[in-house]
């Protein structure tokens, strides 16, 4: 992918025909960090729902769409990309310093996020200009 600190993760699919499918996310094998926190996002029945709008200084995360679909907007400060996600076996790895937004959720959308650390508000950059300045100062 033409973006810094970002990659698509394809989990194995163990398919059992009419009995469904299993996808497996294992630490270090599929998820490139030790998961300290899992959170999920649901009740997205508002067509104008918009989440994210921030970057992290150090946190690493992988976002899965367990059900339904949504669009993930990504911006590493130089390049931008929108990804439509509707496959529960596909995760998106978000490393640090990546501005992200989530929008265009289907009513039944459920997102599940695996994170490398506990919630810490001081790791967030919630203002886009501040994000650009932060990147400049990191160089
Ligand atoms: P935020 O990370 O901004 O959500 P999103 O990226 O999905 O839009 O978090 C929204 C609010 O929820 C914020 O006030 C902090 C709180 N929160 C926690 O307390 N713990 C958590 O693990 C997360 C992810 C959020």
pLDDT digits (tens, 9 = 90+) for 77-129: 999 999 999 999 999 999 999 999 999 999 999 999 999 999 999 999 999 99
User: Which pLDDT value is given to residue 98?
Assistant: 98
User: Which pLDDT value is given to residue 45?
Assistant: 84
pLDDT in tens, 20-31: 999 999 999 999
User: Model's pTM, two decimal places?
Assistant: 0.96
> At which residue do the structure tokens 């104008």 appear?
48
Which residue minimizes the CA distance to atom 13 of ligand 1?
Answer: 121
What would the CATH number be for the domain defined by 6-138?
A: 2.60.120.10
Q: What spacing in Å lies between the alpha carbon of 4 and ligand 1's midpoint?
A: 23
Which of 10, 28, 54, 56 does the annotation list as catalytic? 54
What gap in Å lies between CA 37 and CA 27, rounded to an integer? Answer: 13
Q: Is 54 a catalytic residue?
A: yes
Which residue minimizes the CA distance to atom 1 of ligand 1?
Answer: 52
Closest CA to 36 of 60, 69, 52, 64: 60
The pLDDT mean for the chain works out to 96
């Amino acid at each position: 992918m033409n973006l810094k600190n970002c990659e698509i993760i394809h989990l194995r699919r163990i398919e059992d025909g009419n009995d469904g499918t299993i996808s497996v996310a294992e630490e270090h094998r599929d998820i490139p960090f030790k998961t300290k926190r899992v959170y999920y996002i649901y009740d997205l029945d508002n067509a104008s729902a918009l989440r994210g709008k921030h970057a992290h200084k150090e946190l690493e995360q992988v976002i899965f769409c367990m059900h339904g679909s949504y669009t993930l907007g990504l911006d590493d400060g130089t390049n931008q990309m929108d990804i439509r996600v509707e496959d529960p076996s596909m995760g998106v790895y978000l490393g640090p310093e990546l501005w992200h937004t989530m929008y265009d959720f289907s009513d039944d959308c459920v997102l599940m996020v695996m994170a490398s650390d506990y919630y810490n508000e001081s790791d967030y950059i919630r203002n886009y200009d501040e994000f650009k300045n932060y990147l400049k100062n990191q160089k």
